[in-house]
Amino acid sequence: MPPIASTWHPAAALNALKTTLGVIVAWGMVLWQQLPDPFLAPVAVLFLQTPYLGASLRKGLMRVLGTLAGALLVLVLLAYLIQDRWALIGALSVVVGVSVYMIRNSRYGYAWFMLAITAAIIAGDASMEPSLAFAKAVSRSTEAVIGILVVLVINGLLWPRTGGAIYDRTYRDALAALAEQMRRLGEAVSAGADGHLPQPPKTLRGAPVQLREILAAAALDSGGFRRLQRTYEAQIDGLAAVLGSLMAFGENLRLAAEGERAFLSAPHRTALGSALRDLAAAVEGIEQDPGAFAGRTPADALTAARKCLGRLSADPGREPAAVAESALLHATVFALKVLITRVDGLADASVALAAGRALPVTALAAEVRQPLGERTARALPNALVAAAGFWLMALLWVELQWPPFGVIGLTMVIVVIGVETLANVPVHRRARRLAIGGVAGALLTAPVYFAVMPQLDGFLALSLVLFIFYYPILYFFHALPPPRNLFFLGAALMAILMVQLEPSQTYSATGYLGLSLSILTGFIVGITLLAIFGGGSPQEHLRRTLKNLLGTLDRALGDLADRNRPDFAGTLVRYEQRLRAELQSLAEIVPMAYAAHTPANDRERIDALLDAVETLLIRLGALQRARARWREECGADRENNCPRTDFGRHWREAFQATLRELLCKLDQPGSRVSLAALDANRDFALSEVARVDALRRGGDPPPGASYILGIAGHYIGVARGLRTFAEALEAIDWAAWRLPRF
């Protein structure tokens, strides 16, 4: 059992307090107004409560808009199809399917989720009492509005939190970690600790992904963040660019210090160590108040780093004895120059944001939408499952009169599939956790409903009991990370539904059992369909996601092979967006992939696989961004200034061949990953580097020669990343994970 201190989270305790109070206040308001089905308002509070005020506001607005749109749409369908039951059910199935499809392909996914739920509830009620359809629509919308108002008032009065402050603090922490990494690397080089050159820690590698998640919440909280969101995104991209360049520079250092042609002398080490320490000082000063500098400013530190760069180029310590050594020296110098440029650019967004202005459009990443085919493939399976689930539940209700509360059963099918679809990762363990939590919630609520509530007198006494009952459940819901907290979401949902509070309270064992079975029937239908059409274990989803990611990398290398293509920047952005989404999916799947029945695949090996993927993507991103800069590096007459070489083409072919080996490993677990393509390319790469360096040392060297030598470190870094990834992939016993689905 973990110690109590490890399960205590003050922020979770505060959020649980807000949610509990909100649920109880919502109960009181709807009971006072004597609205039908009063549980909808406290359920709204449960789903709308977030750690940030702005996120709750946006989610609440989407809930209201989705509810109103669903109510209006159902009224239109009822006006034309109320006499034809199956036509109405078919139309509603299409509505549910389209809504679930749009959950994945719209920025307003939660509104579409509410549209589907509202359509099911109002249509189900109206099928029994058509004359009350309009009244039902009004009451459902009223309860949604009550829920959002309660959440906003409580979030605004009780210790409101904004994403902007969290973003600023997280960004400063990332800069501090980046500066510390530069300082450690500089100390290792200066001391000659070549065998222990430090790698960036996992927290630093994952900082860009974390910052983007927080920025999404901050943009909802603050008009300033929303107005300057693209500049904040450029700030995050700048951090990722510095990190990628630092890792590529580390590969150059490793070759210069440990390779067969290692040449670093004491003057080299002194200059490199000083440059890295100066860069660390520049990074630390980026977010500081200009009036707080007692000594050097970031600009002063960057100037000092450039002086070190000049000393390294002008005073190499000794004349290189071979061409390859000279090539490594100039590749290292170029990589350091690129790193200095990246650090200099990192401050641009911070300066603009401090002044409250946006960066020029030319400095912002292009906004690219995924192709229609990719969006359809991503969203269509769950949309079809939702439509089929709605139709099947309606068929059971009409033909077999099961479940007892058919509207609730229909709604729970949509809830299960919708929760799965709202998540970034389609692993149906989420739905299972929700359903298991629902069973536990029904069992936990039974003593409260049958033994405690009949003894109470008045809403005050009821509120005290409900607070004691709800708070522990909601605490663990907020304290545990997804998807582990979904068990408590299911328990909390049932704890609200099963108390069956009404203006005229009654207690019925038959009604309690019927409601429980109706909810569980909806869960079972939804989970079964997800398992049949989109199921698979988390381990299988891990394998599929890795295959998708490797396939995306393979296509990116092919599509970005021609750096002269007019849409190179847009294509690069599109692939970066897709790879970020796939990496996020992978990060969410990894915690669920460990299983006790395969002890060989322990958590350490699975985490190492994720680390290897993160590192590889950072290296590849730095490579492609460096390739995108060749116009600036090689000048206006770049075709003549840049030496003719097949260096990049050979490396890309080797990378693609290795990626296909990795894909084969995922399809055929018994095979071994061959790195022959990388090995075979090594001698050719060294000879090409030597040839380009010979041109550079000739009478009139082309300006692009230094660029070719410098970018070599990026290619070598990607090759190293692929080797590390292959080792992590081989360490997993994939055959042990390939179990039958049923």
Q: What is the pLDDT of residues 533-576, one digit of tens each?
A: 766 677 888 888 899 899 999 999 999 988 778 888 888 888 88
CB 113 within 8 A of CB 66: yes
Distance CA 399, CA 411 (A): 18
Same domain, 200 and 270: yes
Which of 130-144, 502-516, 625-639 holds the top average pLDDT?
Answer: 502-516
Q: What is the pLDDT of residue 441?
A: 94
pLDDT value, residue 318: 45
**Distance (Å, whole) CA 452 – CA 499:** 11
738 versus 680: the higher-pLDDT residue is 680
pLDDT digits (tens, 9 = 90+) for 154-196: 877 776 666 777 888 899 999 999 999 999 998 888 887 656 7
Shared domain check, 703 and 627: yes
Task: Please give the structure tokens belonging to residue 227.
Answer: 């107005």
Any domain includes 742: no
**Is the previous residue joined to 472 through a cis bond, with omega within 30 degrees of 0?**
no
Cis peptide bond prior to 404, omega within 30° of 0: no
How sure is the predictor about 20, in pLDDT bands with cuts at 50, 70 and 90? Answer: very high
The per-residue pLDDT for range 421-473, each reduced to its tens digit, is 877 555 556 778 888 999 999 999 999 999 999 998 889 999 999 999 999 99
Question: Is residue 236 situated within a structural domain?
Answer: yes
pLDDT at 610: 85
Are 420 and 588 within 8 A, CB to CB? no
Domain final residue pick, 329, 357, 385: 357
Boundary (domain end) residue, out of 534, 552, 568:
534
> Does the residue 407 lie in any domain?
yes
Which of 258 and 196 is assigned the larger pLDDT?
A: 196
**How distant, in Å, are the alpha carbons of 14, 122, 154, 383 from that of 22?**
12, 25, 7, 32
Residues in the chain: 742
Region 669-682 average pLDDT: 86
* Together in a domain, 555 and 674: yes
The answer to whether residues 134 and 243 belong to one domain is no
pLDDT at 122: 86
CATH number at residue 730: 1.20.58.220
Span 590-645, pLDDT tens digits = 877 776 666 778 888 888 888 888 888 878 887 887 787 766 666 554 555 565 66
* Any domain includes 12: yes
pLDDT, mean of residues 516-534: 88
Alpha-carbon distance of 740 to 742, in angstroms, equals 6
192's CB contacts (< 8 A; 6+ apart) are: 269
**DSSP conformation class of 287:** T
Query: Do 437 and 465 lie in a common domain?
Result: yes
The pLDDT value given to residue 690: 66
**Looking at the structure, do residues 386 and 516 belong to the same domain, yes or no?**
yes
Contact 395, 377 (CB under 8 A): no
Confidence tier at 686 by pLDDT (50, 70, 90): low
Mean pLDDT score of the chain, rounded to an integer? 81
8 Å CB contact between 211 and 203:
no
More confident residue, 62 or 217: 62
Q: Which structural domain range is residue 247 located in? A: 163-221+229-357
Q: Quick one: three-class SS letters along 379-400?
A: HHHHHHHHHHHHHHHHHHHHHH
Q: Is the preceding peptide bond at 38 cis, omega within 30 degrees of 0?
A: no
pLDDT in tens, 371-411: 677 678 778 888 999 999 999 999 999 889 899 999 999 99
Contacts within 8 Å (CB) and 24+ apart, 92-97: 92/119, 92/120, 92/123, 92/390, 92/394, 93/387, 93/388, 93/390, 93/391, 93/394, 94/387, 95/119, 96/120, 96/386, 96/387, 96/390, 96/414, 97/383, 97/384, 97/386, 97/387, 97/390
Q: 52 phi and psi, to 5 degrees?
A: -120, 140
The pLDDT of residue 368 is: 56
pLDDT recorded at residue 316 = 46
- Checking if the pLDDT of 656 tops 90, the result is yes
Find the range with the poorest average confidence among 198-207, 218-227, 488-497.
Answer: 218-227
Residues 555 and 585 both lie in one domain: yes
In a domain, 365, yes or no: no
Residue 363 has pLDDT above 80, yes or no: no
- Gap between the Cα atoms of 118 and 124, Å rounded: 10
* Least confident range of 445-459, 488-502, 727-741: 727-741
The Cα 159–Cα 150 span in angstroms is: 15
The token duo for 703 is 């300006």
Instruction: Please state, as a whole number, how many other Cβ atoms lie within 10 Å of the Cβ of residue 705.
Output: 24
Give percent of the chain with pLDDT exceeding 70: 83
Whether 617 and 587 map to the same domain: the answer is yes
Is there a single domain that holds both residue 206 and residue 247? yes
- Segment 580-587 shows an average pLDDT of 79
Is the backbone of residue 675 left (phi > 0), alpha (psi -120 to 50) or beta? alpha
User: What is the SS3 assignment for 531?
Assistant: helix
How many domains are contained in the chain?
3
Q: Minimal CA–CA distance to 152: which of 23, 33, 63, 60? A: 60
Confidence at residue 5, expressed as pLDDT on a 0 to 100 scale: 44
Q: What is the pLDDT of residue 2?
A: 43
Give the pLDDT confidence score for residue 639 in this predicted structure.
Answer: 53
3-state secondary structure of 527: helix
Residue 364 placed within a domain: no
- 92-101: average pLDDT: 94
**708 and 662 belong to one structural domain:** yes
Mean local confidence (pLDDT), 130-155: 81
pTM for the model stands at 0.74
Q: Which of 317, 68, 337, 358 is nearest to 229 (CA)?
A: 358
304-323 burial string, b = 16+ CB within 10 Å, else e?
bbbebbebbbeebbeebeeb
Say yes or no to pLDDT of 339 above 80.
yes
Q: Both 309 and 335 in a single domain?
A: yes
First to last CA, the chain: 32
Residue 246 domain flag: yes
Distance of CA 38 to the CA centre of its chain: 35
Distance CA 67, CA 19 (A): 21
Average pLDDT over residues 654-659: 93
Q: Given 501, 534, 567, which residue is the final one in a domain? A: 534
- % of the chain beyond a pLDDT of 90: 25
| Residue 372 in tokens | 């229609």
In a domain, 363, yes or no: no
Check pLDDT > 80 for residue 8: no
The whole-number average pLDDT for the span 713-734 is 86
**Residue 473: per-residue pLDDT:** 95
Asked if 173 and 310 sit in the same domain, the reply is: yes
